[in-house]
Amino acid sequence: AQTVTQSQPEMSVQEAETVTLSCTYDTSESDYYLFWYKQPPSRQMILVIRQEAYKQQNATENRFSVNFQKAAKSFSLKISDSQLGDAAMYFCAYLPGNTGKLIFGQGTTLQVKP
Amino acid sequence: NAGVTQTPKFQVLKTGQSMTLQCAQDMNHNSMYWYRQDPGMGLRLIYYSASEGTTDKGEVPNGYNVSRLNKREFSLRLESAAPSQTSVYFCASSSGQYREKLFFGSGTQLSVL
């Protein structure tokens, strides 16, 4: 079965510092996509970043970047210059290439300290 | 720009009661989904509809039924609510190309007493 594991239930970072959230996944598929979603206290799910498995280059979106290690099945999210507005729960998610069944990890709650 | 609209936002039920969660999207998306979110377990897929007229089970379908009423609307029904169904429910939609992102509603907080 395909699974996504986020081993850090909670993380904290000082404002303006950098933090990395970990995610590992298990799959035998070769075609898939990986996502990081942010869920602030408003409960709204917001897409942060997306990575296609066939691309070797790591995706970046402004202060957010990923370290995609396909052989290790690892997909970590790095947040640079952390801001108070980054405080939220972050979910790693895996999407098999041939279905719409997005599979989520358990989530990591990020606290940003002023 | 309504996006994905879920109703109601909050609901309290007694064990054994039934209810329907409504979801509508105005983005002309083909695919729609229902997820539940529980503490420490992330979001789990209950049912999804790849296109109008089709539905399929996700990871946790037991105790739920769905109806894809038309392209815009996808409802989730609890026939006989149980305390284990206390959760936050999210509806989502996508264009159906799968590789594109999901657009989520704001969620329904359901408590079953």
From first to last of its 114 residues, what are the pLDDT tens digits of chain A?
A: 779 999 999 999 999 999 999 999 999 888 899 999 999 999 999 999 999 998 889 999 999 999 999 999 999 999 999 999 999 999 999 998 777 788 999 999 999 999
Among A residues 90-109, those touching chain B with beta carbons less than 8 Å apart: 91, 95, 97-107
Q: Check residue A5 and give its pLDDT.
A: 95
Q: Are B41 and A98 in contact (CB < 8 Å)?
A: no
How far is residue B7's CA from residue A4's CA, in Å, rounded to a whole number? Answer: 29
DSSP string, B48-92: EESSTT--EE-S--TTEEEEE-SSSBEEEEESS--GGG-EEEEEE
* Nearest residue in chain A measured CA to CA from B105: A44
For the cut 70, the answer to whether the pLDDT of residue B99 exceeds it is no
Q: How far is B82 from chain A (nearest CA, A)?
A: 23
In chain A, which residues have their Cβ closer than 8 Å to the Cβ of B98? 95, 97-100
CB contact under 8 A, B42 and A4: yes
Contact call for residues A4 and A101 (beta carbons, < 8 A): no
What pLDDT is recorded for position B32? 93
Is residue B97 over pLDDT 70?
Answer: no
- At A38-53, the pLDDT tens digits run 999 999 999 999 999 9
Contact A101 B107 (CB under 8 A): no
The pLDDT of residue A29: 87
State chain B's mean pLDDT as an integer: 92
- Smallest Cβ–Cβ distance between A101 and the set B58, B99, B107 belongs to B58
Tokens 């405080």 belong to A87
Question: In the prediction, which pLDDT does B40 show?
Answer: 81
Better pLDDT: A67 or B96 = A67
A59, two tokens? 């995706």
- Chain A contact for B84, CB < 8 A? no
